[in-house]
Amino acid sequence: MQKAEPVLQSRAEGVLTLTLNRPEALNSLNRNLMENLRAALAQAGADESVRALIITGAGRGFCAGADLVEQSDTPPISRGQGISDGMTSHFNPLARDLAAFPKPTVAAVNGVAAGGGVGLALACDIVVAAKSATFIQVFAPQLGLVPDMGCSWHLPRLIGAARAKGLALLGDRLRAEDAAAWGLIWQAVDDETLTARARDIAGKLAGGPTRGLVATRNVLAAAFDNDLAAQLDLERRTQFELGNTEDFAEGVRAFVQKRPPEFKGR
């Protein structure tokens, strides 16, 4: 019997959807899935026909984080060394690849996002979740570890120190609607409309000036570390680069001609 592909791909109108396809394990991250996901990201990043990306999960879960069964099957010199090696070779590179993906990204959280699954979602530009979805920080209360896959970076920035510590230390399930109210995600929608909503958002991004959208992501991220003077200078340098793009010229023409712009991502 042929083994199922760990990452399913589909595309329509410039939007590539990558579906984590280990539903029997709540799409937990094993080496094979992460290698395939990174390969798909690399290919899509270099493909000019891909203008935006959606990541979602097959079955009833988005992603349950690291595959602990796989880790226990291959004991390293020490458990700590095994965790560290896995983060160096797979988990951290995946988080970096997604955060630096050169097109706008959308996470469509269709069910539970636990541990590293939360970090995977938050590495995307926009997170939309089904109302039945939940977000859980399992690292400390269930495993005695710290939040990883970028969770320790994203959580305090998005929802503040008090809420970040509460989630990380207690491991309470955060409902999608509360996650949206707290500012952890963009939107919680009815389960039956999740796919359509994610496609609508990704389609809007795909039709936009993608270089400018990605640059906006980067400028906003830098604001947490810059003082005002440094941020103003970053804005100036970025506007210099974007002001020389075809998309900016098209945006000006469309404004003057009172028509919708036709951006090409160049």
Same domain as 233, residue 126: no
Q: Is residue 1 part of a domain?
A: no
Confidence of residue 77 (pLDDT cuts 50, 70, 90): confident
CATH number for the domain harbouring residue 117:
3.90.226.10
Closest by Cα among 78, 133, 77, 141 to 109: 133
Q: Is residue 264 part of a domain?
A: no
Q: Is residue 46 part of a domain?
A: yes
Q: Is residue 263 part of a domain?
A: no
Same domain as 192, residue 74: yes
Tell me the average pLDDT of the chain.
Answer: 94
Q: Is the pLDDT assigned to residue 73 strictly greater than 60? A: no
Share of the chain above pLDDT 90, in %: 89
Same domain as 217, residue 116: no
Same domain as 128, residue 168: yes
Same domain as 105, residue 70: yes
Domains in the chain: how many in total? 2
Q: Is the pLDDT assigned to residue 68 strictly greater than 90? A: no
Same domain as 153, residue 216: no
In 13-149, the DSSP E strands lie at 15-20, 52-57, 61-63, 105-109, 112-114, 126-130, 134-136
Q: Is residue 265 part of a domain?
A: no
Q: What is the average per-residue pLDDT within 221-239? A: 96
Q: Is the pLDDT assigned to residue 134 strictly greater than 60? A: yes
Confidence of residue 212 (pLDDT cuts 50, 70, 90): very high
C-alpha–C-alpha distance, residues 100 and 127, integer Å: 16
pLDDT of the residue at 4:
86
Q: What is the average per-residue pLDDT within 58-79? A: 81
Same domain as 222, residue 103: no
Q: Is residue 184 part of a domain?
A: yes
pLDDT of the residue at 228:
97
C-alpha–C-alpha distance, residues 101 and 95, integer Å: 10
pLDDT digits (tens, 9 = 90+) for 85-95: 988 999 999 99
Same domain as 151, residue 230: no
Same domain as 144, residue 12: yes
C-alpha distance from residue 162 to each of 74, 113, 132, 185, 238 (Å)? 37, 21, 24, 17, 34
Q: Is residue 24 part of a domain?
A: yes
C-alpha–C-alpha distance, residues 89 and 93, integer Å: 7
Same domain as 221, residue 172: no
pLDDT of the residue at 200:
98
Q: Which domain holds residue 57?
A: 7-206
Same domain as 196, residue 224: no
Q: What is the average per-residue pLDDT within 10-38? A: 96
Q: Is the pLDDT assigned to residue 75 strictly greater than 80? A: no
Same domain as 219, residue 110: no
